[in-house]
Structure 1
Amino acid sequence: MSTALTLTTGPARLTAAGEIDMSNAAAFAAALAEARGTQPGEPLTVDLTDVEYIDSAGLAALFPHADHLRLVATPLLAPVLTVAGLDDLTTIRG
Structure 2
Amino acid sequence: MTTALTLTADRRPDGAVILSAVGEVDMTNSADLAAATDEALGDVSGRPLIVDLSRVEYLDSAGLSVLLVRAERIEIVASALLGPVLTVCGLTELTTVHGLEPDGGR
Task: Find out whether 1:32 has 2:31 as its counterpart.
Answer: no
Q: 1:68 aligns with which of 64, 73, 92?
A: 73
Quote the residue 1:3 is aligned against: 3
> Post-superposition, which runs of at least 4 consecutive aligned residues in structure 1 deviate over 4 A?
none
The one-character-per-residue Cα deviations of 1:1-58 (angstroms, maximum 9, x if unpaired) are 0000000001211000000000000000111111037653211100001100000000
| Percent identity over paired residues | 55
Structure 2: which 5+ residue stretches go unaligned? 12-16, 100-106
Provide TM-score, normalisation by structure 1: 0.93
Structure 1: which 5+ residue stretches go unaligned? none
Q: How many residues align?
A: 94
For the pair shown, the structure with the greater C-alpha radius of gyration is 2
Provide TM-score, normalisation by structure 2: 0.83
Q: Distance in 2 between matches of 1:78 and 1:92?
A: 9
**How far apart are residue 85 of structure 1 and its match?**
0.6
Amino acid in the other structure paired with 1:82: T
Over 3 Å counting, the alpha-carbon distance change for 1:49 and 1:39 in structure 2 is: closer
RMSD: 1.3
